[in-house]
A and B are shown apart, each in its own frame.
Chain A
Amino acid sequence: MEEFVQHFINGISLGSIYALIAIGYTMVYGILQLINFAHSDVYMIGAFTGYYFGNYISRLGWVTLPSWSAFFFTLACAMLVCGFLGFMIERFAYRPLRKAPKLNILITAIGISLFLEYTGQIVFGADPKVFPNLLNDVELFSSESGNVRISSFDIVILTVSVSLVVILNFIIFKTKLGKAMRATSFNDTWAALMGIPVDRIISYTFVIGSALAAAGGILVGIKYPKIEPLMGVMIGLKAFVAAVLGGIGNLTGAVIGALIMGLAEQFVVGYGSSTYRDALAFGILIVILLFKPAGLLGKFGVEKV
């Protein structure tokens, strides 16, 4: 039983990281019907921004590592940098192709993804880097037998993910910007006719989605302190599967899908064979596409994002 609880905790912790990345996929899809393959590489850039920024501020002596201020500074910096990167990607790679067939823009997305990965290998070097120790890992809870443990990282990751999702939900459902995003997602031509600056709204979507991916990068960095330019490939695919599982285009769906993915992975490792871990992610994708092509919460043709 204790083992089950531990697997459960591990799964939620992993799932909440998938969720941050899955949200980016789902937001962009909801508005543009585009699968933004470069998203997982924006996440990688986020982690590397954290790496350089974290090391930089500690060397300058602005903050001492590990500390909360270092964590939040780095998080904010990475989110800003990646938000800007997301904006640039949309502005220069996707916007010129907005009126082109969907396939062109999809291939461009793959191109951008490869571009970022291999530029990363040249600029950062292809060998793994060790993420700076921004936060101390403290054991918050341990059962008497010591078989169930919750560390502060698990809580930090969950809290940061949940609060970002809550903020995002607030933006989308309670603000004017969110209303405009929903309108654009519903029908961009009509939205434009109603006076909504569609281009700017799409830019915002990319900025927000990329900033969330950066947060994911930082959280992964503090928990698994090994980062490399190709780190986004696998996790990006899994987050994408999570988004599809929850119903791509649906925010709550992405979060639920991500948690299911995280839990399923941990339970396969725990009670099945650890070899089938990655096979599971894609197995889920196939099953979902067969039986519920729109995903768990997705509906065809209804409001997205």
Chain B
Amino acid sequence: MKNLFTFTSLLFALALATTACTKKTDTTSQSSDEILVGEFGSLTGSEATFGQMTNKGIALAVEEINSAGGVNGKKIRVITLDNQGKSEESVSAVTKLITQNKVVAVLGEVASSRSLAAAPIAQQYKVPMISPSSTNPKVTEVGDYIFRVCFIDPFQGTVMAKFAHENLKAKKVAILTDVKSDYSVGLAKFFKETYTKLGGTIVSEQSYSSGDIDFKGQLTNIKTAKADAIFIPGYYTEVGLIARQARQIGIKADLMGGDGWDSSKLSEIGGEAVNGGYFSNHYTSESKEPVVVGFVEKFKKKFGETPDGLAAMGYDAALVLGEALKKAPDLSPQAIRDAVAQTKDFQGVTGKITINGERNAVKPAVVVKVDGTVNRFVTTVNP
């Protein structure tokens, strides 16, 4: 009995201490010359480079906004939470950002599944959320507070289908989908629709689950189907292994994918096997446009590495938000939302960004070819 009492009182003391702490941080974080913006992303987890690169892009953009005078005299401060690459963690991260940190807007996520998990929370609290690079169309369909600054999968699927048909002249394509990922399933579907419309044949449709390490069974089937090219709309972690095993069992077909391939880890995991693979992306660091050249230079100077597509998207998302914060008459969620929705012809690194009625950005995509750690520019496809 005495034990129980001690335990309860300890628990009580602990609870007191925690509330005291939260209160304390709350008062400090509510300083009047700062605007708090939340960011959630996969800083760790199996697609860690997505979150890390996006985070660097956002950090660079916010630094620029602040050094140029901030938003009407106020500095932007980003609070970043790690969701470990998990949907359920995304939900709690966004809830925490909104209810505890009281952020005025949320930036995130890269993976569509995780944006889809978090979006209903942002919508429920009516806090604007801008996804830098979730391409699944369902993300912004969640509600009128959810935006994105990238193109969507119906377009990305079309880009790769046309590329397979016109540039690679592939007659027979096999598809290998990650059934656990909304992004992968959606992209595969849109690719298939356009490709069959163009007159191509899908000879084999196989699937895997993220986290799998053995793909030989699926690849053996694809090999028997004699595909000219394989479309793998997955994330780089699995794509690297798939490419390796495909070459091991002697598949010589071209490999293609979407922006989920964009990571420096792709060639690390896939080795030589991923070389020569094509994927659609938001931008290319090889572009000669002054905006891009300037961005790549600044990024390299700050972080010592070449920004990938996701870093560029993070950068653009933060700039679009910064612009909206400047334009908004006050910092109420409603005002910020309206300002983001009115974004028109904003010159970002990844092209001119105009938010349309469905709260998506309409932009061109590029197709790049993997060559070691570098992605060589192949072609630009306009919407």
Contact = CB atoms under 8 A, between A and B. Distances in A.
B45 to A, nearest CB: 5
Interface residues of B, number: 33
Contacts of A266: 216-217
B269 A127 contact: no
A252 B381 CA distance: 58
Contact of B45 (A6, A126, A137, A142): A126
B84 interface: yes
Nearest to B45: A126
Contacts of A228: 46
Given A130-B269, A224-B241, A273 B207 contact: yes
B224 A3 contact: yes
Interface in A132-150: 137, 142, 146-147, 149
Given A14-B214, A226-B241, A274-B206, A126 B48 contact: yes
Contact count band on A: 35 or more
A270 B249 CA distance: 14
B217 A127 contact: no
Most chain-A Cβ atoms within 10 A of its Cβ — which of B45, B46, B48, B214?
B214
Contacts of A125: 44, 48
B211 A234 contact: yes
A6 B207 contact: no
A275 B45 CA distance: 23
A278 interface: yes
B85 interface: yes
A265 interface: yes
Contacts of B85: 126
Interface in A230-259: 230-231, 234-235
B220 A6 contact: yes
Nearest to A267: B217
A3 B220 contact: yes
B44 A269 contact: no
Contacts of A147: 223-224, 250
Interface string A1-34: 0010011001000100000000000000000000
Nearest to A2: B224
A121 interface: yes
B167 interface: no
Contacts of B265: 127-128, 130
B209 interface: yes
Contacts of B250: 142, 146-147, 149
B248 A269 contact: no
B220 A226 contact: no
Contacts of A278: 209
A105 B246 CA distance: 44
A75 interface: no
A151 B269 contact: no
B48 A127 contact: yes
Most chain A CB neighbours (cut-off 10 Å) among B207, B217, B249: B217
Contact of A274 (B218, B240, B241): B218
Contacts of B211: 230, 234
Nearest to A10: B216
A126 B217 contact: no
A128 B44 CA distance: 9
Interface in B194-236: 206-209, 211-214, 216-218, 220-221, 223-224
A127 B237 CA distance: 9
Interface string B29-55: 000000000000000111011000000
A275 B179 contact: yes
B269 A226 contact: yes
A224 B209 contact: no
A220 interface: yes
Interface in B1-49: 44-46, 48-49
A66 interface: no
A125 B211 CA distance: 16
Contacts of A3: 220-221, 224
Given A6-B249, A226-B241, A130 B209 contact: no
A224 B213 contact: yes
Given A10-B216, A125-B48, A277-B212, 13 more contacts: A3-B224, A10-B217, A10-B220, A14-B214, A127-B48, A128-B269, A130-B269, A137-B248, A147-B223, A147-B250, A234-B212, A267-B217, A274-B207
